[in-house]
Chain A
Amino acid sequence: MSYKIVESGVAETFLVDFLSGLKPELQFVEVEDDGSEINAVHAFIAGVLAAHKEEASRPLVSKKRKDDKFELVVSDLIHELDQRISYKAKFNQNFWIYLACSTVEAHTWRYPDSTGDNLKENMGFRRSGFSESLFGRLLIRSEIIGEGSALHEFVGQDFWRSHIMRTKYGGNPVFAIEFAECVLKNDLKTEDQREMAKAFKREHSNLFFEGFDYESSKRIVEYVRSSMGV
């Protein structure tokens, strides 16, 4: 078995050609790897493109949407893929660039107002971290949320990126889910989410969020929310 990779420089050229209306051939390199199922990778690509077609009339207009079916479908696909690729592929940045290039249509639909720069960021070959790319963000979110949760429909890019993925306390899935559910249940505004995140950061000076169980997570989320009166 093997998986495919694309270097960022090759990907940039590919994207420029694609955006200029050409139909460029993707130049990839194949890496030997016993642990990754190539069929799973192809199924993922096909799935993302199919989701793109189904949802083509609904481009992402708000980063706060709570009913985003595209993210729901792709999160499920990425969760499935995650089970069937090796850690070698998972930690190879150029594997994710290959996936992004293979689904370039879905990316251009998803970010229709983008100049090339924003698109590159979401395809994972700009300077930003893995969690800033579409697939990176969904993979990390899928590892937090697990399978079959309504939370997959909660796009909340600001929420996941700023208050979960970039924080140390947000690395505890039990706590992250509690926080996300609190935001949804109480329909918290962006400002309130930010204030809660600041409070958690302060509490993290004393509390070991990393090891929190369900009970502790629920207690701290409720305590912070109620003390803010939201």
Chain B
Amino acid sequence: MENRLETRTVRPFIGMDRLESQLSRTVLRVNGKAVMKREYFGEEEFEDLKIALTFDLDSGALALTAEEMGLSIGDFRLAVVARSLTIGNWVELRNWQLETDEIEDLDFHSQDLPNVFCDVRSGFEIVCALVLAKQRPQAPLEIYEKGTWLSLMEWKILPDREVSSFAPKGMDAKIKKDLNLSSKAVIFVEAKSESLWTARTLDEALTVWVDEDLLNMTMRQNSGTATMTEIFLARIALEALVNHVSRSLSREKSSMEAVSRQIELKEIDENVFTSFLKKVHKVIGTNETLEETLQQVVSEPAMVVSKMESAVDLRADLKRLLLKEDS
């Protein structure tokens, strides 16, 4: 049988299980939306985010547990820190001493700390932690190190670069002329100057142009022909994308093993390309490693397209996007 390795955090301290839930009722809301672990917002929204953190510490239970552990409420601090994921430095937002300070809910606007909250490139992270505030004598199974965290909550707010924001665009006569196409051209796949590795949206790297009249027809009509056309367009968009991705990967000097390792170890910033590759890996489902998926994208793009289209409802996705753009 194959050996498997699993990483586990070992926190062998008595009473820790009761303390760890202390912050579980802390809620982060961004623009009114409660954030579980991570939430995505449109790039344009980062300029105007309302960030609210509400605490619900059970101080009675905390005091009781502390006493059982030979501690007092004065031994705890509640720290709230945040960082831009591009720069990475933690900034202290609050550091309350539980015995003397009043814990109050926090409200920020992204402009209050733009070097953190306006990081539209990579997003930001907020962490709050209940920590031991004083150094104690070392004893078996007891917390003693100042700075040991007792309860922790963390959230990430990330720029929305979903792959699904990719949709065919209508081309009128002027666009056709700019693209050096015949006025009767129906479909054209344009590779842009932005590399997939650095593009913020797929549209920056690739555009699938479709004759405007044809696109409008599929939008306005509810006929079988229109439905077929929608599926056809979605298929072309997906195929163009997978082929573009396949070409980009095959141009890589590094091995697919190195690229997949970099993606998994997050040595490459999370971007639209890495998101897409992870999505492909998930959808294909039969490859054990990301490296195998990347190899397959390079060697069998047609097979990947086929598996992708059967796993997602292309037509519904496309219609939703086109309607959204239209409104």
Contact = CB atoms under 8 A, between A and B. Distances in A.
Interface of A: 7-10, 12-13, 87-88, 90-93, 115, 117, 125-132, 139-140, 143-144, 165-166, 170-173, 205-212, 216, 219-220
Interface in B107-149: 114-115, 118-122, 127, 129, 131, 145-149
Given A90-B115, A127-B262, A130-B86, A208 B195 contact: no
A171 B200 CA distance: 25
Contacts of A126: 195, 197-198
A161 B266 CA distance: 13
Given A143-B89, A173-B89, A210-B129, 16 more contacts: A7-B193, A87-B119, A117-B253, A127-B197, A129-B267, A129-B269, A130-B122, A171-B89, A205-B10, A206-B9, A208-B79, A208-B147, A208-B148, A209-B147, A210-B79, A216-B147
Contact of B87 (A93, A140, A209): A140
A173 B89 CA distance: 7
A25 to B, nearest CB: 15
Interface string B142-159: 000111110010000000
A216 B133 CA distance: 10
A219 B147 CA distance: 11
Contacts of A208: 79, 129, 131, 147-149, 152
26 contacts: A7-B193, A9-B192, A90-B86, A90-B115, A91-B118, A93-B121, A125-B198, A126-B195, A127-B197, A127-B268, A127-B273, A128-B268, A129-B267, A130-B269, A132-B267, A139-B87, A140-B88, A165-B88, A172-B89, A206-B9, A206-B149, A208-B79, A208-B148, A208-B149, A209-B147, A210-B79
Nearest to A139: B87
Contacts of A12: 195
B195 A9 contact: yes
B194 A210 contact: no
B81 interface: yes
Contacts of A219: 146
Nearest to B129: A208
A212 B149 CA distance: 11
B253 to A, nearest CB: 5
B58 interface: no
Nearest to B82: A210
Which among B86, B122, B152, B268 has the greatest number of chain A C-beta atoms within 10 A? Answer: B86
Contacts of A130: 86, 121-122, 269
Contact residues of B: prevailing secondary structure: loop
B120 A131 contact: no
Nearest to A97: B198
A207 B11 contact: no
A91 B116 CA distance: 10
B90 A205 contact: no
A183 B122 CA distance: 30
A95 to B, nearest CB: 10
A171 to B, nearest CB: 5
A206 B127 CA distance: 15
B176 to A, nearest CB: 22
A16 to B, nearest CB: 13
Contacts of A144: 89
B83 interface: yes
Contact of A171 (B90, B95, B198): B90
Contact of B148 (A129, A172, A207): A207
A211 B129 CA distance: 9
Contacts of B83: 171
Contact of A92 (B121, B131, B193): B121
With most chain A CB atoms within 10 A of its CB, the pick from B119, B129, B131, B273 is: B131
The 5 tightest CB contacts between A and B, nearest first, are A9-B193, A127-B197, A211-B79, A129-B269, A208-B149
A87 B114 contact: yes
B266 to A, nearest CB: 8
Contacts of B148: 206-208
B129 A10 contact: no
A96 B147 CA distance: 37
A5 B111 CA distance: 23
Nearest to A129: B269
Contact of B11 (A88, A140, A206): A206
B92 interface: yes
A135 to B, nearest CB: 12
A93 B197 CA distance: 12
Contacts of B87: 139-140, 143
A8 B118 contact: no
A127 B266 CA distance: 11
Contact of A172 (B90, B122, B198): B90
Contacts of A173: 89-90
A92 B192 CA distance: 19
Contacts of B146: 216, 219
A224 to B, nearest CB: 12
A131 to B, nearest CB: 7
Contacts of B84: 91
A10 B194 CA distance: 7
